[in-house]
Each structure stands twice: as structure tokens, then as C-alpha cells.
Structure 1
């Protein structure tokens, strides 16, 4: 279309090359994948641990203060809010504390926004565990930690594994918080992509290379956890 004269069947002068991948691994871009891996993994671990304890409390202590459907819904609204609605106060908060563009700020923000998802997913599976099993463990002298470690966590099975996988996937692909809270010294691969635009020129080949490399970890997670994710959507432990 843009050739003179226009051609119905264009001629593709294309030679396969790994130049774009060499540019990725030879620059700061390669470290952005490491940053994404560190931030997403740490935030996922913290969110799932806190979410497990909170989900257990919501499930096993329904008569406790502040434990009702309203409280459960309020904590879920944090996940329902679009990031654009809260990004300004969050950035202002970290700037005020002098922690903007740090691993701590990004990991903590990711953790706070991942906990509601973890609670929501795990609670349904905790509800399915018969309380009589834990009552028998209490009669045998099991402490709370022992019950959680030897009974609850093994019985959660697919639910816990799927929660870990989905939480990690959401954080790996997150863009807005990574761009506004970090994006300077601490750069994830999603926040680094806009930097590939040089004036009027866009490095589309490097874009494609980073997109391909960035899709590999999620594919690995999906392959490893696929049966657990399927069970989660089917409602089976």
C-alpha cells in the first residue's frame, strides 16, 4: 500500500535474526525480568500467607467481632476498585514517606491489593473442610499451628496452589503501579516497555522480543499449575 507503485502482493524482504534478543540481554531490559520475578514472588508469598490466615478466620469464627458479610464485602471492594481510582493517593503516600521508587513500596502495594483476592479464593475451600476433623485434632492435643500445617493446608490442595498461581500471574502482568510507584531505579518489565520509544521511533523488534520473553514465565506457571486452576474453576479441591 505504501510502496510506489502500490503492490497487491507485497514483497517481504525478511531475514530471521536474534538481534532484538541480543539487545534485550545486553541492556538494562534483562534485569527488568529479574525485578518482576522478585517483586511478584515476594508479594505473592506474603499475600497468600496473610490471605490464608484471614480466610481461616472468616470461615471458622463467624461470630467474632467484625466478622460478617459486610466486613467480607468491604475487604473485597479493595480488589474491585480500578487502579486508576487509587493510584494518586498511593503515590502521594509513598512520596511523603520517602519510599517512592523502592522495592518495599512496590511489594507492599502489590501485597495489599492481592490479599483480598487470596482471601476470596481460599475461604471457599476452607469452608469445604469439615470442622469435625479439626475438632478431633484439638482433642488429640494439636495446637493451632499444628492443625493449620498438618490438616488445613494439605486439605486445601488445589485451592491453595491455584491461588498462588493466579495471584502471581496478576502481579507479573501488572502495569500501572509498577510504572507510577517505581519505574525509575526499580523497573519491572511491563514498566520498561514504554521506554522503548525513542522520540518518533519505536523499537518494535525489541517490543516483540520482550513480549515473547515476558510470556514464558506465565506459560510455565500455567503448565505447572494447570490442573489446580481447572479444579478451582470447577469448584473442586
Structure 2
């Protein structure tokens, strides 16, 4: 089955809104794992407006599934990942002031940089994934960087699905087929939800992992966190 990694940035946002430690990020992460999720994802940003760099160190001590750290590989982020040594690092080209990720890498223009950073992480035994659009040229470029996996940036699929356009998944099907043929593992994330995850899973072959945060936490406000995690797991079987 496709694995579910839950992004807990929104839990940190809620905690930071009042100061203190409510909700307890570490407890929530452990609970999510106990509910059946196969991974925990965080995406620290330089201003630490949600996940703090110290959270990454503390989570490493208690996460018993796959720990995935996402972010733009600026020097501070690279140092953090090398100190924490998660199971996976996902490289995302987001600007310092970005509210959320909004584009994949241009793997042709940044190939040299990505190769260097990826090798640094692989020397530490950290599996690497890079965030890419469902563009065949970008997938081909990704294969030349030495990355282990790509994470397909799924916002365009989600928008098309919301409008009833089921054709919006086709570029992702093609990108996944090409990536698999090039020896790359396939992850996906961004705006995936209970509504659209099932069709995406059915349509995109070789899908190893999805990372879901914002929608999952919003859905949990009405349906409960344990229930929602299991609803995603059922759709990913």
C-alpha cells in the first residue's frame, strides 16, 4: 500500500498561537503513529513560525516510524538535517517568505546544486526526495541529480479535481510512469485530501508515499484525528 506520512506543521502553528506547549507536538506525533500512520513529516522554515528547529531534534527521539524533514536546502536547513539524520529529507524550493510551497524544482537549471546537496545527505545515509511538478522534463532532470525519489507537487491535480476535471490527474500518471522507468521512487503531496486522495491513488502507479498535513488536520476538527488517519489509510490500500 501507499504509506501515509502526516505533516504536523499545523499542530505546531496551533501551539505557537498561545505559547506554552498545548497541544503537545510530541504527544500528537506519537498518537498519530499509534493511529496507524507510517510517517511523520515536518517542514521547518527559517522564521520558525510553526515547526521550530528544536522540534526536529526532539521528534527524532520519539518518532518510531519514518521521519521526513522537508525544506529549502539553505545552509541552516542542511546543518539541521545532518544533525538530526531523519530517514528522509525532501528538498523544496520555497522562498523564505512563502506561506506554503508553490512550485517544484527546475531540475535542469539547479541540477549541479541539487547533485551536491543530495550527495551530502546520501553520504549520511539519508534517503533524498525532491519536490517536482508533473513535468516530464523536470522528472528526467531529477533522475540526473542522484535523488532516490521525487515528490510530485499535486496542487494542480487538487484544483482540477475540485472543478470536476478528472483529466487533471493525467500528467501525474505520466510523470510517475516515467519516474519509475528511470529508477526513481514516487511520493506526492500538497492539497491532497479525503475527497481526492482515492482517485489519485487509483490513477498514479508506483506511489510509495503521500505527505498530508493541512487538509488532514482541518478534517480532523470535525471527524477526529484517529478517525481521519484511518480514513486516509483505507483510501490508500
TM over 0.5: no
TM-score normalized with structure 1 length: 0.21
Q: Flag the structure with more relative contact order, 1 or 2, with Cα contacts below 8 A and sequence separation at least 6.
A: 1
Judging by fraction of residues, say which structure has more helix: 1
User: Which one has the largest radius of gyration?
Assistant: 1
TM-score normalised according to structure 2 size: 0.21
